[in-house]
Homo-oligomer: A and B are copies of this chain.
Amino acid sequence: MRVVQPKSVADQVEEILRGKIRDGTYPAGSRIPSESELSEGFGVSRATVRTVLAKLAVNGMILRKQGDGTYVNPRIRVASANFGSLWDFVTLIESNGYKPAIDALSIELRAASEKEAGALAIEPQENLLSMTRLFRADEQPVILAKNVIPASFLCVPLGDIDGHLPIRDILYKYCRQEIAFAITDIRSMLTGPELKSALGDTLGDTVLELQLAFYSRDNLPLALGVNYFNDATLRLCLAQAWS
């Protein structure tokens, strides 16, 4: 069970613990080993174990009780779990119990609008990589996603881009840029005719609109996104824990 080198020790411990919770080695609601037992078992210090447990606790995956122990949160297994999923639709679809798929409807270059240029801190009319993609849950379309990235970031030809990758991977693989933080606006809106045709007949009268902006560690705008979310089919479900 002892941990070896490749990634950080803490990441490995986290991965192992997440796995044991996922596969039922630590069943829902059960008490997991104490910090001292884990640190001894993994051959790492208690401080390292603690940073990992703290990370799992803010997502609500575990519940910690002073003087008692640490328990697997049984309710979180049915929820979409952590906040990261807001920007990871594949995981979100999976946690809703569906098989995810991504269709790349269009990948093209076009000039930036005034508004896009302002948000991306570039000149209007500068070129953008513009992608329109459709996320499916068990084949049924559930999210229409439109993303734009300044074409100046691109370091591969347009044809090399794999439209099935999440935006985070596209920025990393084709632009060598890493997302440090994101700001999301959530709105509700009426379903228009073009959405009806894209998202299909199960669509209700309203959809959720998620407007995203991604930034690098240097505070540089990397990409924008507008996502239309069929909340009649897919639950947008967040969990948060305190202290």
Contact = CB atoms under 8 A, between A and B. Distances in A.
Interface of A: 29, 47, 58, 60, 63-65, 71, 73-76, 79, 83-84, 86-87, 179-190, 205-208, 215, 217-219, 231, 235-242
Counted per complex, copies of this chain come to 2
B219 A182 contact: no
Among A205, A206, A235, A241, max chain B CB count under 10 A is at: A206
Given A183-B238, A183-B239, A185-B235, 17 more contacts: A60-B183, A63-B180, A63-B217, A64-B217, A73-B181, A74-B219, A75-B181, A76-B181, A83-B240, A84-B240, A86-B238, A181-B242, A184-B237, A184-B239, A185-B236, A187-B231, A188-B206
B188 A238 contact: no
Contacts of A231: 186-188
A239 B87 CA distance: 11
Contacts of A60: 181, 183
Contact of A206 (B74, B76, B190, B218): B190
A65 B184 CA distance: 23
